[in-house]
Amino acid sequence: LSPDCSFTCHYRCRALVRLDCSGPLGAGDEDDGTEQALEKDTNVDEPSEWEKAELDQAQVEQRIKEYNSQINSNLFMSLNKDGSYTGFIKVQLKLVRPVSVPATKRVPSLQAGRPGPRTQAVKRRTSFYLPKGTVKHLHILSHTRASEVIDALLRKFTVIDNPRKFALFERSEKDEQVYLRKLADEEQPLRLRLLAGPSEKVLSFVLKENETGEVNWDAFTLPELHNFLRILQREEEEHVRQLRHRYARCRQKMQEAL
């Protein structure tokens, strides 16, 4: 566990990890759970009315021109000759569970110093927490589906977990309230981005765990269950630490006021 950025990994993996930690978090940088308290899962499967809008070729071209005129970067959208279009979407990864990545360890031959057929690579996997606030830009097509975006993100971070464990959400802010909606596999994120415009408050994308309902714990082995218990314990300790930090900040503010 890194003291600076709270990055967690196995002790055998420390030498393989390269992070640019900026140092201890300040009082104002701590995630005090404010946004989590504001988030509200609308639990609505159907897109809103503006997301259902169908655009013809001329309307798509006009929307792309308006979109490109409003952004302050070079992440433009481009219209293709076949009527499709390409562009960038930004996805924030807000994962509370660890992800698995491959790790290969060379197993030396029994005869030291003599490489031979016995030398082989043993495939292993290791789990770690992605740093909070991780953001990734993806260049996709207008017909790229949400499920394909999830696959692309997992490939970018070499995550080998089942893609069905994750879901892509659209996030919007309205009336000082944050709303989340889980995207269906067939929905097209770039189309939603074009319809919403470049404003992140109107629409942004978040990758989170896919909550599929009750877990059949009997299907796991004893080592897996013990590992889950250790993870839950660490999450509980981290949550308690954040709560204590919030109350300490409130107490300090009240003492300063007094």
Task: Say what the pLDDT of residue 92 is.
Answer: 94
Among the listed residues 192, 193, 170, the one whose alpha carbon sits nearest the alpha carbon of residue 76: 193
Reported as a single tens digit per residue, the pLDDT across 145-157 is 999 999 999 999 8
Among the listed residues 226, 209, 234, the one whose alpha carbon sits nearest the alpha carbon of residue 1: 234
pLDDT at 47 over 70: no
Reported as a single tens digit per residue, the pLDDT across 203-255 is 999 999 887 665 667 767 788 788 888 888 988 999 999 999 999 999 999 99
Cα 149 from Cα 168, distance rounded (Å): 8
Say if CB 149 and CB 168 are below 8 A apart: yes
User: Averaged over 112-123, what is the pLDDT?
Assistant: 48
Task: Say what the pLDDT of residue 9 is.
Answer: 65
Per domain, the residue ranges of the chain are 38-98+124-214, 218-249
Cα 88 from Cα 34, distance rounded (Å): 29
> What CATH code would you report for 38-98+124-214?
3.10.20.90
pLDDT at 39 over 80: no
DSSP for 67-87 reads HHHH-SSS---EE-TTS-EEE
Q: How far is CA 190 from the centre of its chain?
A: 17
Among the listed residues 173, 193, 198, the one whose alpha carbon sits nearest the alpha carbon of residue 183: 193
Say if CB 178 and CB 184 are below 8 A apart: no
What is the dihedral sign for C-alpha 146, 151, 156, 157? positive
Cα 89 from Cα 148, distance rounded (Å): 13
Cα 256 from Cα 258, distance rounded (Å): 5
